[in-house]
Structure 1
Amino acid sequence: MSHEPPGTTILENHASDAIILQPTPTADPNEPLNWSKWRKHTNLFIVCFFTLMAFTANCVSTVFWTPQNQELGWTLDQQNNGYALSVAGLGLGCPLMIPFAEKFGKRPVYLVSSAIALACAAWMAKMTTVGELYGSSLLQGMATSVTETIIQMTVADLYFVHQRGTCNGIYMVVVDVGNFLIMVPAGYITMSLGWRWVYGIIAVITGAQFLSTLLFFEETKYTAGTETLVGVGEDEEDRPEENLSNKDAKDIVRNLESPSTESVIMDFSDSASSRNAYQYQKNPLSKRLALVTYTPGSWREFGRKMYTPFITLFAYPIVTFVAIQYGFMLTWLAMAATTVASAFAEPPYSFSSAALGNINIAPFIGMALGSVYGGWFNDKTIIWLSRRNGGQYEPEMRLYGLIPANLTLTIGLFLFGLPIAHGVHWMVPTLGFAIIMFGFGSSGAIVLTYLLDSYKNIVADAFIGVIVVRNVFGMIMVFDQTPWIEKVGLQNVYITVGCISLVPLALTVPLIYHGKHLRRKSEARYLRESTRR
């Protein structure tokens, strides 16, 4: 295979139709790519658990805005501002906390973030002033912001190219549950016990999540070349490429590129008669669960990591595209969520907190289906497209599925906003909300995986920039939505945003055809940034 830009890989052996693992793991059992399935899935479950609690804590308040208003006298504008500050915190936290994850490991950052999230949930259960609402919302957003970037770093550490779409689909389902499905029990708890109990229960479950992280989440940071060798098998010095000690290597076909760039396919078995040329020492549990995993390097580079994401955001057109796509997605989600909280609580709908919670069942179903389409189905699609391309995978193959995903966002916005403006039966805008969230779940999983496949080695910097832009878009919309609606009316607002939502679709088609060229142009910078510590 001739020289190709970052992201382009051989995903399937043309002769045998075998999937080739990309990236190619070493023989070290401590490398996360070589972990057993249960270890990988345990780590993914824990970070998804934190993600669930993060989105629950940041979104659940919209169900009980009316009871809060009745008890504390907060206005809709003040509650909107509190929601906007939580979104702002999601954007501010990443640039501050992710450099620590790269320097000291993901475990300490997860633990600190979980502890702060727990404290904020307990604080929210007792708050009585608008100042407390603003302060706790901002801090909660900052604490939970790490989930959106670290989970992508964790997926990149643990899973291969053909598995990442499915993992991001699972991530989007978890976001879906935290955004929508959790609102159903929250509404009933508010009606029966009061809104403060909702935050109290969140605090208890977040405490359980903190303990699971402390006891079971393993550090996934791994640097090739730092593995520990404890011996060389006798009479096997001429076979250093075999990895026979790792049980997870059984029946796996791997692609190793020789100096002549020809693909070499190997089948690793777990036979007792075979022995490893290099015998690696598996890290003890104390090291795998260490509170800190320090990465040596320049502190100047550590400081540079605070602003590098913003350079990355504009230096890589693909990162810019994903930021715009993701930013628009959160904007429509924030608009729809706050519209439901305000419009459905007033005539002609006059929904109770429980009924407002039930409204979220429809967007949950829509986003769950979208996550399957943008995750598992997208993974299957790229394997099929790679086979048609002689086994060669291009990240842009994922973008074909983005076209219908973006179209559903536009259709959903019109079907959601216009019926509410005219007081149409609640089932019509609820269907529109479900279609919006199908587009959100599918396009989110696709673009996240596309960026991860294109620039794996700078995933932290790239995703920080994306998350900052995403949350700036959402914060601006939430702050301005109420006065905008008061000035021009709900119908005109949703007609405008429905038209604007076509922008990502207009950018998708050119990127399908020119994305590889953009990756090639950015290769020198990408390789330079990949080696920084």
Structure 2
Amino acid sequence: MKDSKSRVFRKEGGDPEQGSIGDIVEGVPGTRILIEHTDAEIILLPRPTSSPDDPLNWSWRRKYIAQAIVFMWAFMLGAATLSPAVTYASVMAELGASTSYLNVGAALGLLMLGLGNLIFNPLALRFGRRPVYLVSTLISAASQVVVATAQTKATFIGGRILLGFGAAPFEQLPALTVDDQFFIHQRGLGLSIYTLAITTGSFLGPVATGFVIDSMGWRWVYWFYAIFIFSIAALVFFALEETGFPRRIYHQTDPNEARSYDPPKTYLQKLQLITILPIPTSLYRTATTPILLLTSPIIWWCGIMYGFAVAWLTIMAYESTTIFTTYNFSSSALGLTNIAPLIGACLVVYLGGAGTDRFMVFKARRNAGIMEPETRLYSVLFAGPIMAAGLILYGVGAANRIHWAGPIIGMGMIGSALPISAEVALGYVSECYPSLAGEATAAVIVIRNVIGCGMTFAISPWIERSGLKYTFVTVGLLALAVFYSGILLVWKGKACRRLGARRYATLVLG
């Protein structure tokens, strides 16, 4: 059996970091042998090295400690990015800002969340994940101090834009960390943890925010975030291990027979801030690769699908201030409405992540052991109708002044689609482009946030012109169309990957 597995690994060859261009079957990037059909054992991809410090060789305890820290980090930054919606009424009263003006600030913050990754992503790939986690956290904490002390609406918006730049890695870096730590058939589990973090942060943050506003005032919301995020920075520095690993320089072994030839790092060695990682191209080329990947229809679909899902969620959050004011909700009551999308998200988070891991193995066993990335797409067909129905119920219900439970149920349905869209988009694109996973996810995040920025700019005048009812009916139908367009990739995704194989190889080899 050893010879059989060795034959498979020699066939894959290529880059030990992710399998590279050699890690393909039938000349199609992303199509891989996941199961050796002669014994039905799962092949570990990427291939681990002999080092005990290779994150793929870490114990589950060690992996989950790192994931727990990343969870807290993503939770806090997710909370900080969406909680301001609850403070809008107080900010408008004190600083004289209109809803439209604050929505412009939110849109620019979303834009920076995407564009910031074009800077942070190549730095993480070259100098390690730890310094990027730390710098991102410090910038985000500083932005909260700016907002907390703002005396003008322009300063308030400036702080929000700074947060967008500082928090940009929270949209992409955890997915890269998942790729570092987990084998391909386990990544859905890691993405589920990450998605649960940003989901709970995005929804629980506003809940707490409402109570803080009622008891202490809106400025204390940002002071608390500054304190908590600075605390996370300390945790990152002292406890988060580097997951970037120079796998290329280590001798490759059969994953089931790996031995620890190198002594494990000491605690002080683990605190090393910068780890120089080998990349096959220049830092400039690494930074521009996400732009070059925009020729791929797979990148565009993932970005558009994920982008619209986040856009609808953002619109829901920022319009809730206006909608629930008509129901005479206090700030604390407004914050509590976010429990509904949190419940919705928690109910389905397994489906788009860990659930697709099981489905992937199931499908591979019935496909001569060959895995296709398109296996991850099926869950969006479940999420599409739920998202569409939730948007229509939310907007039409509020426009017709039905009982407040109606829009809140709609919020729960909208929230349930977010984790699926995130897990599918990030998981699918990283499997289609295994050696360019960081660059590909960065490209998806840029598209996602450009769409979110545009929709946040457009929603206020759209509602003013068409009304709440017809705007959300249109948005719901658009959401259904975008999610169900995934059928095209289930059908032709492999053909797209085959057509782009040569360009993929060119980008990998520089």
Q: Tell me whether the two structures share a fold, i.e. TM-score over 0.5.
A: yes
The aligned residue for residue 374 of structure 1 is: 352
The aligned amino acid for 2:132 is V
Partner of residue 95 from structure 1, selected from 111, 118, 122: 118
Name the CA distance, whole Å, in 1 between partners of 2:322 and 2:197: 25
CA deviations on 1:348-393 (whole Å, 9 max, x unpaired) are: x121101101111110011112212111222222222222223322
Name the CA distance, whole Å, in 2 between partners of 1:168 and 1:369: 15
**Does 1:335 pair with 2:358?**
no
Shift in Å, 1:340: 0.9
Native 8 Å contact 1:169 1:374 kept in 2: yes
The aligned amino acid for 1:470 is R
Name the CA distance, whole Å, in 1 between partners of 2:278 and 2:356: 38
**Does 1:118 pair with 2:145?**
no
CA deviations on 1:19-77 (whole Å, 9 max, x unpaired) are: 33222212222221111222222222222222111111111111121122222222212
Name the CA distance, whole Å, in 2 between partners of 1:462 and 1:125: 35
CA deviations on 1:237-269 (whole Å, 9 max, x unpaired) are: xxx946xxxxxxxxxxx5xxxxxxxxxxxx549
The aligned amino acid for 2:197 is V
The aligned residue for residue 17 of structure 2 is: none
The aligned residue for residue 216 of structure 1 is: 239
Shift in Å, 1:12: 3.0
Name the CA distance, whole Å, in 1 between partners of 2:507 and 2:468: 46
The aligned amino acid for 1:69 is M
Native 8 Å contact 2:188 2:353 kept in 1: yes
Native 8 Å contact 1:156 1:456 kept in 2: no
Native 8 Å contact 2:360 2:376 kept in 1: yes
CA deviations on 1:136-180 (whole Å, 9 max, x unpaired) are: 011101000011111111111110111111111121111111111
Deviates more, 1:388-397 or 1:461-470: 388-397
**Does 1:75 pair with 2:98?**
yes
**Does 1:10 pair with 2:33?**
yes
The aligned residue for residue 420 of structure 2 is: 442
**Does 1:177 pair with 2:158?**
no
The aligned residue for residue 55 of structure 2 is: 32
Shift in Å, 1:281: 3.6
**Does 1:391 pair with 2:369?**
yes
The aligned residue for residue 493 of structure 1 is: 471
Name the CA distance, whole Å, in 2 between partners of 1:85 and 1:297: 32
Partner of residue 294 from structure 1, selected from 276, 284, 288: 276
Shift in Å, 1:436: 1.3
The aligned amino acid for 1:525 is R
**Does 1:320 pair with 2:300?**
yes
The aligned amino acid for 1:343 is I
The aligned amino acid for 1:125 is A
Give the TM-score, by structure 2 length: 0.90
The aligned amino acid for 1:120 is S
Name the CA distance, whole Å, in 2 between partners of 1:39 and 1:79: 42
Partner of residue 279 from structure 1, selected from 249, 258, 261: 261
Corresponding residue SS for 1:489: helix
* 1:159-170 correspondence to structure 2 within 5 Å: 159-170=182-193
* 1:40-79 correspondence to structure 2 within 5 Å: 40-79=63-102
Shift in Å, 1:396: 0.8
Shift in Å, 1:4: 4.7
The aligned residue for residue 170 of structure 2 is: 147
Name the CA distance, whole Å, in 2 between partners of 1:241 and 1:404: 40
Deviates more, 1:305-314 or 1:323-332: 305-314
The aligned residue for residue 473 of structure 1 is: 451
Corresponding residue SS for 2:45: coil
The verdict on how the C-alpha distance between 1:524 and 1:28 changes in structure 2, with shifts beyond 3 A counting, is farther
The verdict on how the C-alpha distance between 1:296 and 1:171 changes in structure 2, with shifts beyond 3 A counting, is closer
Structure 1 residue runs of 5 or longer lacking an equivalent are 230-239, 243-253, 255-266, 270-275
**Does 1:306 pair with 2:287?**
yes
CA deviations on 1:485-532 (whole Å, 9 max, x unpaired) are: 111111111122122223323421121121122222222222332234
Shift in Å, 1:16: 4.3
Native 8 Å contact 2:114 2:448 kept in 1: yes
Shift in Å, 1:333: 0.9
The aligned residue for residue 209 of structure 2 is: 186
The aligned residue for residue 237 of structure 1 is: none
Name the CA distance, whole Å, in 2 between partners of 1:35 and 1:204: 32
Corresponding residue SS for 2:41: coil
Native 8 Å contact 2:27 2:501 kept in 1: no
CA deviations on 1:414-465 (whole Å, 9 max, x unpaired) are: 1211111111111111111111111222222122111122212111211121
Name the CA distance, whole Å, in 2 between partners of 1:198 and 1:204: 10
Shift in Å, 1:15: 4.8
Native 8 Å contact 1:370 1:440 kept in 2: no
Native 8 Å contact 1:9 1:22 kept in 2: no
Name the CA distance, whole Å, in 2 between partners of 1:111 and 1:506: 38
Native 8 Å contact 1:322 1:466 kept in 2: yes
Shift in Å, 1:335: 1.4
Native 8 Å contact 2:96 2:153 kept in 1: no
Deviates more, 1:80-89 or 1:201-210: 80-89
Deviates more, 1:500-509 or 1:335-344: 500-509
For the pair shown, which has the larger CA radius of gyration, 1 or 2?
A: 1
Structure 2 residue runs of 5 or longer lacking an equivalent are 1-7, 9-24
Give the TM-score, by structure 1 length: 0.87
Shift in Å, 1:206: 0.7
Deviates more, 1:471-480 or 1:37-46: 37-46
Corresponding residue SS for 1:113: helix
The aligned residue for residue 13 of structure 2 is: none
Deviates more, 1:442-451 or 1:152-161: 442-451
Name the CA distance, whole Å, in 1 between partners of 2:88 and 2:378: 40
Instruction: State the identity as a percent.
Output: 34
The RMSD of aligned alpha carbons is: 2.1
Native 8 Å contact 1:327 1:470 kept in 2: yes
**Does 1:128 pair with 2:151?**
yes
**Does 1:503 pair with 2:481?**
yes
Native 8 Å contact 2:384 2:484 kept in 1: no
Name the CA distance, whole Å, in 1 between partners of 2:247 and 2:131: 22
The aligned amino acid for 2:339 is I
Name the CA distance, whole Å, in 2 between partners of 1:60 and 1:529: 39
Name the CA distance, whole Å, in 2 between partners of 1:297 and 1:455: 16
Native 8 Å contact 1:419 1:428 kept in 2: yes
Give the structure with the higher percent helix.
2
Native 8 Å contact 1:163 1:379 kept in 2: yes
The aligned amino acid for 2:456 is V
Corresponding residue SS for 2:42: coil
The aligned amino acid for 2:393 is L
The aligned amino acid for 2:460 is T
**Does 1:517 pair with 2:498?**
no
Corresponding residue SS for 1:186: helix
